[in-house]
Amino acid sequence: MALARATDAFWSTGFSGTSLDRLCEATDMNRPSLYLAFGDKRALYLAALGKYIEQSSQAIAAALDYEVTLAVALTQLYEFTLTVYLPKAANARGCFMISTAVPEATNDDEIRSLLRAAVAEFDRLVCARLLHARQIGELPAASDPATLASIATAVVHTLAIRARAGESRKALMAIVAAAVTMICGPASAAARTKPRAVR
């Protein structure tokens, strides 16, 4: 619970912009207790980032369901990200990793390594799903799953930035529809059914 509250604090104001006093207030812990539980502010942030990456990877894998069509799987992926980036009960916040780790990656080797590994894992998960789609004939035999995966994940990144910037869900879903059509082809995208809820 304390880590989740600290994550929300970092998500709102970033690593540099989140003071220890703000973290103590968010977690309902005094400084000695905070240090004892998590170490310093950077250690707390790294714990929050690691947990976010772990949970995101699990959710992404679930969204990329191999039992549905590729168009449905991609739509599920994008709709899942929008539930995170545009929570109903809070202000638009985008992606925790992009909003907080990207600004710190320039000067922090460990954060940069975590960011790079997370992006690579995201690409790997999507590429594997696209490779399966090619194997079963949903994508042309000449298609390049690795390149398409980079495009598919780039769409997630732009959704995160645009959500943080205040664009509407309707506008973001228009981007989703265009991306799915571009990757899957007009016929496959048009034939998609409503995605199931991702658990």
SS3 content of the chain, % helix, strand, coil (to 5): 75, 0, 25
Burial readout 44-73 (b: 16 or more C-beta within 10 A, e: otherwise): bbbbbbeebbeebeebbeebbbeebbbbbb
pLDDT of residue 187: 61
Average pLDDT of the chain to the nearest whole number: 91
Average pLDDT over residues 51-76: 96
Which tens digits make up the pLDDT trace of 161-191? 999 999 999 999 999 999 999 999 876 655 5
Residue 25 pLDDT greater than 70, yes or no? yes
**Using 50, 70 and 90 to split pLDDT, how confident is the model at 91?**
confident
pLDDT of residue 34: 86
pLDDT of residue 1: 86
Residue 199 pLDDT greater than 50, yes or no? no
Average pLDDT over residues 138-167: 95
Q: CA 140 to CA 193: how far, in whole Å? A: 21
